Amino acid sequence: MKPTLRMFAVLGVAGALLLPGYAGYADVFWQNDGDNTVGRAASDGSAATQSFLTGVDPTALVATNTHVYWASATGIGRATISGSSADPTFITTPRTPAGLAVSDTAVYWSDQTTGTISRAALSGRTPTTFLSGVSPAGLLVNGDSLYWADPTNDRIGRASLTSSPPTASYLSGATGATALAGDGSYLYWTQQTGNRIGRMTWNGTGPNAAFLTDTGAPATLSGVGVANGYLFWSRRTATAGAQSQIVRANLDGSDLRTSFLAARDPQALTAISSQTVDFPALADVSLAERGVPLTATATSGLPVAFAAGPASVCTASGAQVTLTGAGTCSVSATQAGNLRYLAAPPASQTFTVTSPTPSPTPTPTPTPTIPKPVSGLTATVAHRSLALRWNAAAGATSYRVKVTYKRKTLLRVTMGRTARFTRLKPRKVYTACVTAANPEGSAPSRCVTRRIPRR
């Protein structure tokens, strides 16, 4: 199972709330006790400020991808993750909240005075008691389970969020547990004495109360959080000349940085991972392709959503761009985050959609046609001869001329428009026919009949 939220809670006093502008993506938030502020920084220590929120003294903090929640003596407040739209009286029912956690559907808070854990809808409405008869400090939601630190009994409690009624069970070996955090494999807790961080699996196996020892000045270790592969905790020291710090280490306990960030008596702390989207460049395409597949990945492993436009050029549905016209198509890839991850900065790519090159219009092949018949056929007879003349026939490439008398036939092929036959028999009647022809065929023949004179 993977954790969704982590937080710690101590008591404090709330006052007026002022929110400066917020830029960038922060991962770690902490309470500066005594000056009514909340600080924030990225997990690499950059963009640090001690006054992300001012005029507020939380007993607990929780950050999600959309909001920062805090508990105070007057109830539970909420602001957007950018620090805007603050509502210090988001839920007014709690009077002495110690721990705070958020699931996909509800806000949870613990009350050590009454020994209860309560919850309300994400809208802040319908607050109810979730679990009673417990000794809860810090809270943590992981999947379908709610965990709470029980420092009185050196253990961590657990209850299903979906069971009705919920039943408490316990993971032993959590010496002095006050604040909780988790990653994909382990549950971590701070101990307010001994400068130590404990660790166990989510099922409670392998508890190690001395997993990590803070080597800084003797201090109270208060809030704890996990983000971007690091473990963070707040160290509040009472040693003269020693500065309180936000401390960071790798999740295996290595690379301990006891002076990672300066803070002013920090106590409550929360952390949430950032993420980025890798969106490779898109090649220009022809409108003839109609569709372009999209591929982008988020470092969180969460699914990426796409949007494309303008609609006159392209639209997006799922991981596919549909091309609607020529022009420049802009595609954005986003990941909105969840209870473990902040929203990723949008990634975008553009590509050009070109009109398809028209195919050349083929030259039509002429329909084969036979020639027209000859016209104007005339025949002139003389002593033993016959002269023929005719007009050119459209489409003809040659002419077949045939002269017959009874069973005797004289045949001639010519490309001209005249033909003369001699040595014919006098006083005999001859029939002369002219046929226009080309490679496709022959036209109907035109014929004339003449008698050959004696002289």
By mean pLDDT, which of 245-249, 262-266, 299-303, 355-359 is the weakest?
355-359
pLDDT in tens, 152-176: 999 999 999 999 999 999 999 999 9
In the prediction, which pLDDT does 131 show?
Answer: 96
pLDDT in tens, 362-411: 888 777 789 999 999 999 999 889 999 999 999 999 999 999 998 899 99
- Residue 11: pLDDT above 60? no
Q: Over the chain, what is the mean pLDDT?
A: 88
Domain with CATH 2.60.40.10 in the chain: 375-451
Give Cα 266 distance to the centre of its chain: 38
In the prediction, which pLDDT does 358 show?
Answer: 76
In the prediction, which pLDDT does 265 show?
Answer: 83
Percent over 70 (pLDDT), the chain: 93
Is it true that domain 28-271 has CATH number 2.120.10.30? yes
**How far apart, in whole angstroms, are the C-alpha atoms of residue 317 and residue 325?**
16
CATH number of 375-451: 2.60.40.10
In the prediction, which pLDDT does 23 show?
Answer: 35
pLDDT in tens, 59-118: 899 999 999 999 988 889 999 998 888 899 999 887 778 899 999 999 999 998 899 999
Bridge partner list, 262:
245
Q: Regarding the domain delimited by 277-335+344-354, which CATH topology (the fold level of the hierarchy) does it fall under?
A: Immunoglobulin-like (2.60.40)
Token pair belonging to 124: 């802040």
- Residue 9: pLDDT above 60? no
Beta strand 37-41 with 49-54 is antiparallel
- Judge residue 84's burial from the number of C-beta atoms within 10 Å of its C-beta, 0-12 exposed, 13-18 middle, 19 or more buried: exposed
**How far apart, in whole angstroms, are the C-alpha atoms of residue 88 and residue 353?**
51
Domain with CATH 2.120.10.30 in the chain: 28-271
Kindly tell me the sign of the dihedral angle through the C-alpha atoms of 63, 66, 68, 74: negative
**How far apart, in whole angstroms, are the C-alpha atoms of residue 236 and residue 246?**
9
Token pair belonging to 40: 């924030």
The beta strands (E) that lie in 193-271 are given as: 196-201, 208-213, 219-227, 230-237, 245-250, 257-262, 266-271
In the prediction, which pLDDT does 242 show?
Answer: 56
Question: What global pTM score does this model have?
Answer: 0.72
Token pair belonging to 72: 């105070």
In the prediction, which pLDDT does 244 show?
Answer: 83
In the prediction, which pLDDT does 48 show?
Answer: 92
pLDDT in tens, 84-100: 888 999 998 877 788 99
